[in-house]
Amino acid sequence: MLVLAASLVLAPSAFANFLTPKSGGSPNADQIASLYKIILYIAAVVFVLVEGALVYSVYKFRARRSRVAAQIHGNTRLEIGWTVAAALILVVLTVVTFVKLPSIINPPNTSANGLLSASLGKPSPPNGNKVTICVQGRQFIWRYVYGAECDNNAFSAKLPYSYQTMYAPTNTTVVLVIQAQDVIHDWWVPSLGGKVDAVPGYTTYTWFKSPHRAIFHGQCAQLCGRNHAAMTALVNVMDPAAYQAKLSQLSTGIAAANSQVTQLRSILSQNGNLPPTGNP
């Protein structure tokens, strides 16, 4: 029984992303994970050296009855050495961070086998080919609207939308326009990048580009009310052809539902159970 428990605990998957952030779903997530690991490894080396020196000093210079500890007021070379070393570490971390930042912030071009759709907005890949999806946070669910006009003309353009699950094409730069309709939320799908706040009255942006079909799990990362824990998110990345077919399916379903509502409203109005449209 003990051997079985140890094999489960020590299995590679048991500690997957235990100390490091998730990655693999998008280049920006990979760069964030890479930067995190570099800082983690440097910090681990510093920790081992400092704690090792501390343990050695405690043992080497421990109090003894027959000896009196030497009174040392300072070591100029040692103090200059560790000050310079700390400064060099900070310089290295700063340089590595600024080298990594552009690949985290700036989206790449859509691949040749991706969905080559152009739209306006920020951020934008160099060639402008991208797909825009609006992420709208509300208590306690995410709503996704698909199309370049999703943030200012979604209703008039009759754009397709979905709840809970976002659909996205593979090998395509997907720009997310993130908004909130009530309180502050936080869009976070770890495998696709970092957290992005959704603030009422403001618009924030992020992006991802997934190289393969997959379903990624996420969560609202900002306490937004009593059902905050239920505000989960799914991103279903599919082939470009399947993605376009899914959007057509969503549009057809929404149009059918709107038609049924219009017919029902007409019947209720004719029977006197509903005031005419436009009346209070």
**Residue 144's CATH number:** 2.60.40.420
At 168, is the secondary structure helix, strand, or coil? strand
Q: For residue range 256-276, list pLDDT tens digits in order.
A: 777 777 677 777 676 666 565
Q: What is the pLDDT of residue 185?
A: 95
Please give the Cα distance from 193 to 107 (Å, whole number): 12
- The answer to whether residue 69 sits within a structural domain is no
Q: Give the residues across from 64 on adjacent strands.
A: 67
Q: For position 5, what pLDDT does the model report?
A: 53
H or E element: which one contains 36? Answer: helix 27-60
Q: Same domain for 246 and 152?
A: yes
Q: Is the pLDDT of residue 12 over 50?
A: no
Task: Examine residue 111 and state whether it is found in any structural domain, yes or no.
Answer: no
Mean pLDDT lowest among 22-36, 68-82, 106-120: 106-120
Please check whether residues 95 and 149 belong to one and the same domain: no
Examine residue 99 and state whether it is found in any structural domain, yes or no. yes
Q: Is residue 144 a part of any domain in this protein? A: yes
Q: Are residues 152 and 251 in the same domain?
A: yes
Q: Are residues 192 and 226 in the same domain?
A: yes
**What integer pLDDT is reported at residue 280 of this predicted model?**
43
User: Within this chain, do residues 143 and 244 fall inside the same structural domain, yes or no?
Assistant: yes
- State whether 198 and 158 are in the same domain: yes
DSSP secondary structure letters along 58-85: HHHT--BTTB--------HHHHHHHHHH
Determine how β-strand 131-138 pairs with β-strand 174-180: parallel
Is residue 177 in some structural domain?
A: yes
Distances (CA, A) of 24 to 56, 79, 106: 41, 43, 17
Q: What is the pLDDT of residues 168-217, one digit of tens each?
A: 999 999 999 999 999 999 999 999 988 899 999 999 999 999 999 999 99
HSE, side-chain direction, 13 A CA sphere, residue 174: 31
Average pLDDT taken over every residue of the chain: 82
pTM of this structure: 0.75
The pLDDT of residue 223 is: 93
Residue 165, helix vs strand vs coil: strand
CA atoms within 13 A on the CB side of 97: 9
Tell me: do 82 and 137 sit in the same domain. no
Q: For residue 14, what pLDDT is reported? A: 43
Segment 31-89, tens digit of pLDDT: 888 999 999 999 999 999 999 989 988 888 777 776 666 666 777 888 888 899 999 99
pLDDT of residue 277: 54
Is 260 a member of any domain? yes
Q: Are residues 247 and 181 in the same domain?
A: yes
In eight-state DSSP terms, residue 120 is -
Instruction: Supply the pLDDT for residue 4.
Output: 52
What does the angle CA 124 – CA 35 – CA 86 come to, to the nearest 5 degrees?
130
| Residue 8, domain member (yes or no) | no
Question: Cα(first)–Cα(last) distance of the chain, in Å?
Answer: 71
144, 182: one domain: yes
Residue 116 has pLDDT above 60, yes or no: no
Q: Please tell me the total count of domains within the chain.
A: 2
Return the number of other C-beta atoms located less than 10 Å from residue 158's C-beta: 12
Mean pLDDT of 213-225: 93
Pairwise CA distance, residues 205 & 134, whole Å: 9
The set of residues, in sequence order, having a beta carbon less than 8 Å from that of 262 and lying 6+ positions away, is none
Residue 29 is assigned to a structural domain of this protein: yes
| Percentage, residues of the chain above pLDDT 70 | 81
How far is C-alpha 259 from the geometric centre of its chain's CA atoms?
A: 37
pLDDT for 60: 81
Determine the Cα–Cα distance for residues 235 and 195; give it in Å rounded to an integer.
15
Asked if residue 252 and residue 142 are part of one domain, the reply reads: yes
Return the pLDDT at 29: 86
**Residues 96 and 157 reside in one and the same domain:** no
Query: 168 with 83, same domain?
Result: no
Is residue 119 within 8 Å of 131, Cβ to Cβ?
Answer: yes
DSSP assigned state of 148: T
- For residues 188 and 25, give the distance between their C-alpha atoms in angstroms, rounded to a whole number: 13
pLDDT at 186: 94
**Element (DSSP H or E) covering residue 141:** strand 141-146
101 is in which domain, residue-wise?
22-60+76-105
What is the C-alpha to C-alpha distance for residues 231 and 180, in angstroms, rounded to an integer?
13
Per-residue pLDDT, 252 = 87
* Beta-bridge partners for 215: 236
